[in-house]
Structure 1
Amino acid sequence: MEIAYRIGMVLEGYVTGIQPYGAFVALDEETQGLIHISECHHGFVDDIQNYLKVGQRVRVMIIDIDEYTQKISLSVRCLEKTFDFNQPRHTRYQHKKYWTNRHVYEGFSPIAKRLDHWVDEALADIAAGK
């Protein structure tokens, strides 16, 4: 019996191979998918072998199926616990810091003063073939 795989399905499979860019997972006897390194864990992953091993049983979600090649993209990251926005946070809000003086009202005037010079330079460069 052949399974009709769909995006969003959560399945279990076995890691059959690991490459620097991801891990191959057997979903059944005939179907394999790939967990890209960016989909194996939240945050930066420098070595996928720190998270997955050949022969390991993994729970994955199908995040994409290529329409033409039928390649299946998988994710473990989608099934990990994510940040809970309902949890109380004990953070202190900081005010925006300005990189310039708030009381100086220059606006675009420095650009307007230099614009004619920049246009002349650009036209000279074009004429010189730069």
Structure 2
Amino acid sequence: MALDKGAVIEGVVTGITNFGAFVQLPENKVGLIHISEVSNVFVKDVHDFLKVKEKVTVKVVSIDDKGKIGLSLKALMPAAQPEAEKRTGEPKHFESRRFENKRPEGKHFHAGAPKAAGPMSFEDKLSRFMKESDDRLLDLKRNTESKRGGSGARRGD
């Protein structure tokens, strides 16, 4: 039985390291299941998933020029569903939408001037940007001064 990339074969775990597990394959060959290929979930310790002398079915994912054989258990598992998806039924990126447009003290920085019916000219865009920037700087200055305990001008006294 020749080992080819994509082949599904059985083997026996012969050793476990912090970076993966070595598997004895047919024809007296040895392959490595890298820690990233052990499971669809985060693997902190390979010992939590595999034991020495355990019989496993693996998929050959790579064979390099030196003859090193890369194996995977994860490739034979169904895709894991992210935690957020399990809870809400929606993909994770949809769950984060509940935090969109929330700013400190309820301020929406881009809610400035009402939008014009047509496209804005460069001058209008620049003017709007400058006004919003000045407003943000003023808010920041007020916030910083209040934390210092007063006006920044009194420092020299």
- Sort the TM-score into its range (normalised by shorter chain): 0.5 to 0.7
Q: Which residue of 2 aligns with 1:120?
A: none
The aligned residue for residue 22 of structure 1 is 20
Distance 1:23 1:6 in 2: 20
TM-score, length of structure 2 as denominator length: 0.56
1:45 corresponds in structure 2 to: 43
Which ranges of structure 2 fall in alignment gaps of 5 or more residues? Answer: 82-87, 113-127, 134-157
**1-structure distance, mates of 2:54, 2:3:** 21
Among 68, 73, 77, which residue is 2:74 paired with? 77
- DSSP-derived class of the 2:22 partner: strand
Q: Counterpart of 1:97? A: 100
Distance 1:81 1:91 in 2: 18
Greater fraction of residues in helix: 2
Deviations 1:40-93 (A, max 9, x none): 011211100010011000010011110x20100000011112248xxxx74495
Aligned residues: 102
Question: So what's the TM-score if we normalise by structure 1?
Answer: 0.67
Greater Rg by CA: 2
Who is 1:126 aligned against? none
User: In the TM superposition, what is the alpha-carbon distance from 1:31 to its structure 2 partner?
Assistant: 0.6
1:13 equivalent in structure 2: 11
Q: Distance in 1 between matches of 2:66 and 2:43?
A: 27
Identical pairs, percent: 37
- In structure 1, the gaps of 5 or more residues are 111-130
